[in-house]
C-alpha cells in the first residue's frame, strides 16, 4: 500500500463516515430522547433527495435556496411523521415494538410510493462544486471535500444547540427523565417533535450532500438506515457525540477493508464488527452522557 493510497483510504473513510455520522446522530438523537427506533429515517433521506432534485434541477433554483427549502420541508415532514404516527403509538403499553413495526411499514410504503410517483430510474443531480483539489499525488474533487466540511459544520451546530442552549438543555432533560421534565413544565410531546425535526434536518443535509454522488432513487435510504443503526449502537444508544464518532469509525473500517479485501466483503466486516462490539460492550464504544 503506497502512501497516497493510505491517505486516500483515510479521506474516503472520513467522507463516507461523515454521512454515516449525519444519519446515525439523527437516529441517536431520537433514540436518546424518545427511545424510538425510527425505521423510516432512511426514507426521509430519500424524500429530501427528491426535493433537492426538484428545487435545484427541475426548477433550477440557486443551490442555497434549494438546500434551505429542502431542509425546511424535510424538517416539517419529520415533525409530521412524529405527530401523526409515532406520538399516538407512544401511549400504548407495547409501544416499543408497535413503533418499530409501524415505521418499517411506513418505510416500505414510502419507498413504493416514491417508485410509483417518480419512477424507478436513478436520477442524477449535477455536482454543486466543481473542480478537483490536487495535493501531491492525492486528488479529491471539491464536491467530496464539501461533504466532509458541511457535515462537520452541521453536526457542530447541532452539538452547540444541544450542549450550549436552553433548547438543548430542555432536550437533554427530557431524555433523562420525561416525567420529571414534564413536572418542571417542559412539554415532552413538543420536545419529541422538535427532536424529530432536527433529526430529519440532519438526514436532509446528508441527502443534499449525497445526491450528486449516489443519484436519487426510491431505495437510496435503505443501505444508509442499517449503517445508521449500527452507528447508534456503536456510539452507545442515544449518545449524539458517540454516534458522530462511531460514524467516522464505521466509514474508516469500510474503506480500510476495501483496501485489503475484495469490495463485496467490506459490509460483512462492518456488521461483524458491530456484533462483536455488542457482545463485548453492549453499552457501546463511546457510551457516556445521554443525548
The four Cα atoms 55, 58, 222, 172 give a dihedral, to 10 degrees, of 0
Q: Exactly one of 106, 245, 249, 250 binds another protein (CB under 8 A); which one? A: 106
Residue (29 or 232) nearer to another protein, CB? 232
* Helix, strand, coil tally for the chain in percent (to 5): 75, 5, 20
Q: Exactly one of 109, 169, 177, 187 binds another protein (CB under 8 A); which one? A: 109
Tell me the C-alpha distance between 207 and 125, whole Å.
11
Q: Exactly one of 57, 72, 87, 100 binds another protein (CB under 8 A); which one? A: 100
Tell me the C-alpha distance between 84 and 87, whole Å.
7
The interface mask with another protein, positions 235-274, x = CB under 8 A, is --x----------------xx--xx--xxxxxxx--xx-x
Residue (110 or 170) nearer to another protein, CB? 110
- How far is C-alpha 169 from the chain's CA centre? 22
Of 166-225, binders to another protein (CB under 8 A) are: 213-215, 217, 219, 222-223
Q: Exactly one of 57, 69, 80, 96 binds another protein (CB under 8 A); which one? A: 96
Minimum CB separation from another protein for residue 141, in Å?
A: 5
Q: Where are the alpha helices (DSSP H) in 82-215?
A: 87-90, 95-118, 142-164, 166-176, 178-183, 188-214
Q: Does 104 bind another protein (CB under 8 A)?
A: yes
Of 72-91, binders to another protein (CB under 8 A) are: 85, 88-89
**β-pairing, 138-141 with 132-135?**
antiparallel
Nearest to 203 by CA among 165, 155, 254: 155
Minimum CB separation from another protein for residue 262, in Å?
A: 6
Of 116-135, binders to another protein (CB under 8 A) are: 116, 119-122, 124, 132
| Cβ contact 155:244 at 8 Å | yes
Q: Does 25 bind another protein (CB under 8 A)?
A: no
Residue (170 or 229) nearer to another protein, CB? 229
Amino acid at each position: 500500500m503506497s502512501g497516497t493510497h493510505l491517505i486516500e483510504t483515510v479521506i474516503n473513510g472520513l467522507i463516507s463516515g461523515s454521512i454515516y455520522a449525519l444519519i446515525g446522530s439523527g437516529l441517536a438523537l431520537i433514540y436518546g430522547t424518545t427511545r424510538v427506533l425510527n425505521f423510516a429515517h432512511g426514507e426521509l433521506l430519500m424524500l429530501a433527495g427528491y426535493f433537492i432534485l426538484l428545487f435545484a434541477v427541475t426548477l433550477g433554483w440557486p443551490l442555497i435556496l434549494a438546500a434551505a427549502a429542502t431542509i425546511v420541508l424535510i424538517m416539517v415532514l419529520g415533525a409530521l411523521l412524529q405527530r401523526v404516527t409515532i406520538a399516538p403509538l407512544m401511549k400504548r403499553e407495547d409501544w416499543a415494538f408497535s413503533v418499530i413495526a409501524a415505521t418499517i411499514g411506513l418505510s416500505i410504503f414510502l419507498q413504493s410510493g416514491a417508485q410509483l410517483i417518480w419512477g424507478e430510474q436513478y436520477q442524477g443531480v449535477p455536482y454543486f462544486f466543481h473542480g478537483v483539489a490536487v495535493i501531491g499525488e492525492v486528488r479529491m474533487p471539491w464536491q467530496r471535500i464539501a461533504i466532509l466540511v458541511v457535515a462537520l459544520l452541521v453536526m457542530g451546530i447541532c452539538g452547540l444547540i444541544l450542549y450550549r442552549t436552553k433548547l438543548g438543555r430542555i432536550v437533554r432533560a427530557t431524555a433523562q427523565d420525561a416525567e420529571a421534565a414534564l413536572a418542571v413544565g417542559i412539554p415532552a410531546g413538543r420536545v419529541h417533535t422538535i427532536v424529530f425535526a432536527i433529526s430529519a434536518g440532519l438526514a436532509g443535509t446528508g441527502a443534499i450532500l449525497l445526491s450528486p454522488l449516489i443519484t436519487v432513487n426510491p431505495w437510496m435510504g435503505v443501505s444508509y438506515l442499517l449503517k445508521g443503526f449500527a452507528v447508534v449502537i456503536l456510539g452507545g444508544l442515544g449518545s449524539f457525540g458517540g454516534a458522530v464518532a462511531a460514524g467516522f469509525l464505521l466509514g474508516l473500517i469500510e474503506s480500510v477493508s476495501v483496501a485489503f479485501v475484495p469490495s463485496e466483503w467490506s459490509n460483512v466486516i462492518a456488521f461483524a464488527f458491530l456484533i462483536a462490539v455488542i457482545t463485548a460492550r453492549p453499552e457501546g464504544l463511546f457510551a457516556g452522557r445521554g443525548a
